[in-house]
Structure 1
Amino acid sequence: MLPMLPRLFFPPPFFIKAMSVICVVSLGNVGLSEIRGKHMQYSKFLNIGEKKPIKKKIQVSSRTGMLIAYTPAFLAGAASFGLFPNEDLRFLLVKSTLTFHFFKRILEVLFVHRYSGGMEVESLIPITLSYFTSSVFIIYAQHLAQALPEPEIDLKYPGIALFVVGISGNFYHHRLLSKLRSKNDKEYKVPKGGLFDLVICPHYLFEILGFLGISLIAQTLYAFSFFVGTTLYLMGRSYVTRRWYLSQFKDFPKDVKALIPSAF
Structure 2
Amino acid sequence: MSWYTGDTTYDTLLAIGFAFAALIAFASTFGQSAYGRFGATKKGINLNPKLGWILMELPAPISFAYFFFQGQNHTELVPLLFFGIWMCHYANRGFINPMLMRVHRGTKASFSLSVVLFGWVATGLHGYFSAWFISELAPFLTPDWLTDPRFVIGFAIYLIGFTLNVHSDAVLRSLRPKPNSASDNSEQPRYRIPYGGGYRLVSSPSYLGEMLSWLGFAIFTWSLAGVFIFAVTVANLLPRALETHRWYQKKFDNYPSDRKSLVPFLL
Q: TM-score range by the shorter chain?
A: 0.7 to 0.9
1:30 to partner: Cα distance? 2.4
Q: Report the Cα offset of residue 234 of structure 1.
A: 1.4
Q: More displaced, 196-205 or 73-82?
A: 73-82
- CA shift digits 1:43-71 (9 cap, x unpaired): 000155x5xxx3xx111100110111122
2:200 is aligned, of 186, 197, 202, to: 197
Q: Helix, strand or coil: the match of 2:58? A: helix
Secondary structure of the corresponding residue to residue 258 of structure 1: coil
Q: Indicate the SS of the match to 1:155.
A: helix
> How many Å apart are 1:263 and its aligned residue?
0.9
Aligned residues: 246
Match of 1:130 in 2: 122
Instruction: Check whether the contact 2:134–2:141 (CA below 8 A) recurs between aligned residues.
Output: no
Unaligned residue ranges in structure 2 (runs of 5+): 179-183
Cross-structure match for 1:8:
none
Partner of 1:251: 254
CA distance in 2: counterparts of 1:43 and 1:125, whole angstroms = 16
**Cα distance in 2, alignment partners of residues 149 and 244 from structure 1:** 44
* Cα deviation digits, residues 102-145 of structure 1 (max 9, x gap): 1111111112x222452111121111331122111111122342
Partner of 2:160: 165
1:78 Cα offset (Å):
3.8
Where do 1:76-155 residues align within 5 Å?
A: 76-80=63-67, 82-84=69-71, 86-105=74-93, 106-111=95-100, 113-116=101-104, 117=107, 118-147=110-139, 155=150
Alpha carbons of structure 1 residues 101 and 74: separation in structure 2 relative to 1, 3 Å: same
- Using the TM superposition, give the Cα deviation of residue 149 of structure 1 relative to its aligned residue in structure 2, in angstroms: 8.8
Distance 2:81 2:126 in 1: 17
Identity fraction in percent = 21
Code of the residue aligned with 1:108 in structure 2: it is N
- 1:181 Cα deviation after fit: 1.0
Please say if residues 248 and 255 of structure 2, whose CA atoms lie closer than 8 Å, have aligned partners that are also in contact.
Answer: yes
Aligned pair 1:34/2:34, yes or no? no
The alignment partner of 1:239 has SS state of helix
Equivalent residue in structure 2 for 1:43, among 36, 41, 46: 36
**Unmatched runs of 5 consecutive residues or more in structure 1:** 1-10
Tell me if structure 1 keeps the 8 A contact 2:24–2:232: no
Name the residue aligned to 1:12. 5
Aligned-partner Cα distance in 2 for 1:243–1:181 = 22
Let me know the Cα RMSD of the aligned residues: 2.7
Deviation sequence 1:140-168 (CA, Å, 0-9, x none): 122342446989x6512222222222211
- DSSP 3-state at the match of 2:88: helix
Q: Confirm or deny: 8 A CA contact 1:200 1:257 kept in the other structure.
A: yes
For residue 133 of structure 2, give the secondary structure of its aligned residue in structure 1.
Answer: helix
Indicate if the aligned counterparts of 2:79 and 2:141 stay in contact, CA closer than 8 A.
no
Structure-2-length-normalised TM-score: 0.81
